Amino acid sequence: MKDIAEHVGVSRQLVSLVLRGAEGPSARSRERVLAAAAELGYRPNASARLLRQGSTRTLGIVFSLHNSFQADVVERLFARVAARGYRLATAPIGPGRSTETAVGELMEQRVEALAVFNPEPGIEVLEAARRLVPVVLLGEWADGSGLDTVHVDETAGLRRAVEHLHRLGHRDIAYLGGLGGRVGPDRAAAYRDAMGAAGLAAHVDVVASGFDEEAGAEAARTVLARPQRPTALVCGSDHAAAGALAVLSGAGVRVPEEISVVGFDDNHLAALSYHRLTTVHQDAEEMVEATVEILLARLAEAGASEASPPAVRADGTARGLGGEAVCAEPAPGSGGGAGVHVPRIVATSARLVVRDSTGPRAAGR
């Protein structure tokens, strides 16, 4: 702690308060101390910390209240965590509430492990938190971060969506989705790959937008203003698809007779939509299972032997949940060798649920 205090230029008492998750330090001070701890490679002995403080048997989750899929995951987490003898502490994010603030609140509650959905604007706060407690990044894969990750197989999901539309005769298939953060570019790239695999690389059409209803609506207006419209839309989320469907309906464009629409998530909007949305289904239960197993495995490792890594085979891969191959690259700054942190990366399944919003390409289009 002395090195951290000197590095930041604060007292050892302040450093101790931050590292113990105690109340008092400001958000800015907490951020600076955690960043310094990460930079200097500080990692407290988890067993000693729990012996001093007493185990809280509490896991934390950071999520958005405005994302129905994330809310579904949290709801399922309560039951799964309770069945394993833990409680779940929640910290929502949104306008005016950053990931940094949410993580700080959970650390003050002395959570023993964290799961965090799509942190914005960056993942630095999670990399710092990982020096203190196990952390699982949900919903995206931050390559090279060293974070354990559970995310949907977006490549497979978008491929199935494009293949379905291609079989229906569509060639001009546009993608409406956010390009910010890490989820946006990942899904756009998966769409491009799927179009290329279907032999439709020349028809790639990305309409930059966001993931909420208004963003989807605005993107649909952009499409409708064109002299040549696509015959199918693949949206980056069900919320964006709902916004697009509202604009298409208001403009008198028939779905799916004139244009087909596909969403992503399979949340409550998909089944309740007037058009019953065809969408890529994310399995919330599968994500919950993988998340809990990783977090509890990390806690068990910390209790048995600090920084005990998963077994790495001679071919350089580790085995994750269900036997899938996962990334076995040493985490940045780990130095390799005994005690290297091997991130566990689980891609959950994605399947296409076909409903009423997709149909054959109209004759003459």
Residue 294 and residue 74: Cα distance in Å, rounded? Answer: 16
What φ, ψ does residue 265 adopt, rounded to 5°? 135, -45
Nearest CA among 294, 293, 302 for reference residue 339: 302
Residue 56 and residue 139: Cα distance in Å, rounded? Answer: 26
Q: Which residue is it, tokens 């609140």?
A: 105
Reply yes or no on whether the pLDDT at 35 is more than 90.
no
Reply yes or no on whether the pLDDT at 70 is more than 90.
yes
Task: Give the CA dihedral 65, 69, 73, 76, nearest 10 degrees.
Answer: 100
Do 168 and 198 meet the contact criterion of CB atoms below 8 Å apart? no
Check residue 12 and give left, alpha or beta (phi > 0: left; psi -120 to 50: alpha).
alpha
Q: Based on the number of CB atoms within 10 Å of its own CB, is 276 exposed (0-12), middle (13-18) or buried (19 or more)? A: middle
| Percent of all residues in the chain with a pLDDT value above 70, rounded to a whole number | 84
Sheet strands (E) in 132-286: 135-138, 148-152, 173-178, 205-209, 232-235, 260-265, 278-282
Lowest-confidence segment of 45-54, 113-122, 255-264, 300-309 by average pLDDT: 45-54
pLDDT at 363: 79
312-335: per-residue pLDDT in tens?
333 333 333 333 434 433 444 333
Q: Are strands 278-282 and 350-353 parallel, antiparallel or unpaired?
A: antiparallel
Sheet strands (E) in 239-314: 260-265, 278-282
CA atoms within 13 A on the CB side of 332: 13
Q: What share of the chain is helix, strand, coil (3-state, %, to 5)?
A: 40, 20, 40
262 by DSSP, 3-state: which? strand
H/E stretch holding 29: helix 27-39
pLDDT at 313: 34
Lowest-confidence segment of 219-223, 245-249, 250-254, 338-342 by average pLDDT: 338-342
Lowest-confidence segment of 9-18, 53-62, 98-107, 231-240 by average pLDDT: 9-18
Cα angle, residue 265 at apex, residues 274 and 218 outer, rounded to 5°: 65
What φ, ψ does residue 26 adopt, rounded to 5°? -75, 165
Q: Decide: pTM greater than 0.85.
A: no
Reply yes or no on whether the pLDDT at 169 is more than 90.
yes
Structure tokens at 320: 């994750």
268-284: per-residue pLDDT in tens?
888 876 789 999 999 99
Q: Which residue is it, tokens 């091997």?
A: 342
151 by DSSP, 3-state: which? strand
pLDDT at 328: 36
Q: Which residues on adjacent β-strands are paired with residue 347? A: 151
H/E stretch holding 319: strand 318-319
215-228: per-residue pLDDT in tens?
999 999 999 999 99
pLDDT at 321: 37
Nearest CA among 204, 196, 205 for reference residue 159: 196
H/E stretch holding 214: helix 213-224
Residue 186 and residue 188: Cα distance in Å, rounded? Answer: 6
Reply yes or no on whether the pLDDT at 265 is more than 80.
yes
